[in-house]
Chain A
Amino acid sequence: MEDQIVLSSRVRLARNYEDLPFDLSQHLDEADACINRTMNALALAGVQERYQLLRMCDLTENQRQALVDDHRISCDLLRAPQTAAVLLDDEHDVSIMMNEEDHLRIQAVHPGMDLLSAAASCFRVDDALSRQVAFAYDKQLGYLTSCPTNTGTGMRASLMIHLPMLTHYKQMGSVGQIVAKVGLTIRGVYGEGAEALGHVYMVSNQVTLGRTEQEIISTVTAVGHQLCDMERALRQKAMEERRAQTEDTIYRGWGVMRWAHLLPLNEFFKVWSAVRMGAAMELLPVPVKALDELLDQVQDANLRAMTERSLQGDALSEARAQVVRRSLRRAVHKEGD
């Protein structure tokens, strides 16, 4: 049951229009043309009603950050807000980012370990568009992208994965070497540098040229399985060799999440990680799905959006604690039914 360790699967395709320069941040007319062309293509394909267009220049900084925290857009999209935009299909969890590093970045996120479904969602959009427009493509080099590191399939397949015991037992260095051998990379999702707050990592392919999309998905999936096996083995080891300490961390974390009234973000990450592990090991009466949703909801921008106030400091910590308490109360009662 990899979903106990893998939070979500993401596939992203990079595409560019044949006739436009890659970087449109200084070319407002062409940037607009890119957006209009994409929307017209979706209309011709009969799927335009699924999408909501959001131009970054029409959003507040907080609204933009909330989209990043929800994994609907990348941070890079905010580098040139005057030209950047995104088309969101909430029903299918698909985003089409426009005027980021490439003209189009089609992205789909699915919960758990399911790269195939995420890829299928992306390919549907890709096919719908490529029937109507001319993408930059070369028989030898594949889809042409702004940076040669993305050329070929233009595909990045990633797994968001929770590895508390691999981190605790200081195995992430060798994990990095293992994944590098098959052309993948792993990095912490939250925090600066090597922090990996919440012990949440993203493992993704680095190689995009010379392999089929299916091969890339298979490789990332296989590595995902391997990491899950390694993590599970260490969780078992922790329960065998230091049961009391492990359970203490889990149940203390549970206590804080259930009852604290002030929850700063760094502390949230610590207790969330312990509680998610506890839930995955069926020691706690809460589904991991509820905890994964919480992870997005408690980020600063989402709290501000939810309360419609520009919260800071203690007020943020208080709002976070409230969201966490409410969410866990609901989740625990559902489990009890």
Chain B
Amino acid sequence: MLCEECKTNEACYTVSVMAGDEMTTRHLCAECMAKMNANFAGGNIRNLLSSILSAITGTETPAPQEEDSGVVCPRCQTTQSQFTRTGRLGCPACYEAFREQLQPMLLQIHGRVQHAGRQPLTTEDAQRTRSRQEALTRQMEQAVALEDFETAARLRDQLRALAGQKEDA
């Protein structure tokens, strides 16, 4: 059978792609297989062979003349077809511009679309946590000065809980 990527050479490799729970298969010739290995070595999907990219995103790669949604990033003018072709976004504002189009792709790649990890210390939540920590520390120092060690211990435990929350965030 013919290679599904270049459609010229005879396919001699079978590549299985796991996306979430689904397994899709692609048949490649030696040349395209070598190209895929080189791309995977980089650890990202940029420049991925179109047939593998479509297996991951679960969509057929659009034919060249297909219309895109017409969305353009207002800051850097990246178009959706540019993004689909290169696999890279132009600037942070692209994430807002293409938020809708990105959801299915993020779901396929990561299995989830809600961030659960750390946040920058300058965000509101982090600032709120920091002010609360500062207030608790002041109260704890006051309690220690007044030799009210029970209250101080309670405040210390609250501080620890807050710090634990921050680590998980």
Q: What residues make up the interface of A, taking CB atoms closer than 8 Å to B?
A: 16, 18, 20-23, 76, 101, 123, 126-127, 130-131, 134-144, 146-153, 155-156, 180-181, 183, 185, 187, 192-194, 204, 206-215
Determine the chain B residues whose CB is within 8 A of the CB of A210 once the complex forms: 110-116
Interface pair B117/A18, CB less than 8 Å apart:
no
Determine the chain B residues whose CB is within 8 A of the CB of A207 once the complex forms: 109-111
**B41 sits at the interface (CB 8 A):** yes
* Separation of A107 and B31 alpha carbons in the complex (Å): 34
Interface pair B91/A21, CB less than 8 Å apart:
yes
Determine the chain B residues whose CB is within 8 A of the CB of A22 once the complex forms: 88-92
Which of A23, A183, A209 is within 8 Å of B113, CB to CB? A209
Which of A137, A147, A180, A192 is within 8 Å of B44, CB to CB? A147
* Separation of A137 and B34 alpha carbons in the complex (Å): 36
Q: How far is the CB of A9 from chain B (nearest CB, A)?
A: 16
Determine the chain A residues whose CB is within 8 A of the CB of B90 once the complex forms: 21-23
B98-119 CB mask vs A (1 if < 8 Å, else 0) is 0000100110011111111111
Interface pair A187/B40, CB less than 8 Å apart:
yes
- Specify the chain A residue showing the minimal Cβ separation from B92: A136
Interface pair B102/A148, CB less than 8 Å apart:
yes
Within 8 A of A (CB), among B81-102: 87-92, 95-96, 102
Interface pair B121/A20, CB less than 8 Å apart:
no
Interface pair A212/B110, CB less than 8 Å apart:
no
**B135 sits at the interface (CB 8 A):** no
**B156 sits at the interface (CB 8 A):** no
Interface pair A20/B111, CB less than 8 Å apart:
no
Which of A135, A143, A149, A215 is within 8 Å of B45, CB to CB? A149
Q: How far is the CB of A235 from chain B (nearest CB, A)?
A: 28
Determine the chain A residues whose CB is within 8 A of the CB of B122 once the complex forms: 130-131, 134-135
Q: For the complex, would chain B's binding face be called helix, strand, loop or mixed by DSSP majority?
A: loop
Q: For the complex, would chain A's binding face be called helix, strand, loop or mixed by DSSP majority?
A: loop
Determine the chain A residues whose CB is within 8 A of the CB of B41 once the complex forms: 187
Interface pair B121/A131, CB less than 8 Å apart:
yes
- Specify the chain A residue showing the minimal Cβ separation from B112: A210
Determine the chain A residues whose CB is within 8 A of the CB of B106 once the complex forms: 141, 148, 151, 209
**B76 sits at the interface (CB 8 A):** yes
Determine the chain B residues whose CB is within 8 A of the CB of A21 once the complex forms: 76, 90-91
B5-41 CB mask vs A (1 if < 8 Å, else 0) is 0000000000000100000000000000010011011
Given contacts A147-B44, A150-B44, A141 and B113 within 8 Å (CB-CB): yes
Interface pair B43/A204, CB less than 8 Å apart:
yes
Given contacts A21-B76, A180-B18, A207-B109, A213 and B43 within 8 Å (CB-CB): no
Q: How far is the CB of B70 from chain A (nearest CB, A)?
A: 20
* Separation of A123 and B118 alpha carbons in the complex (Å): 9
Interface pair A142/B117, CB less than 8 Å apart:
yes
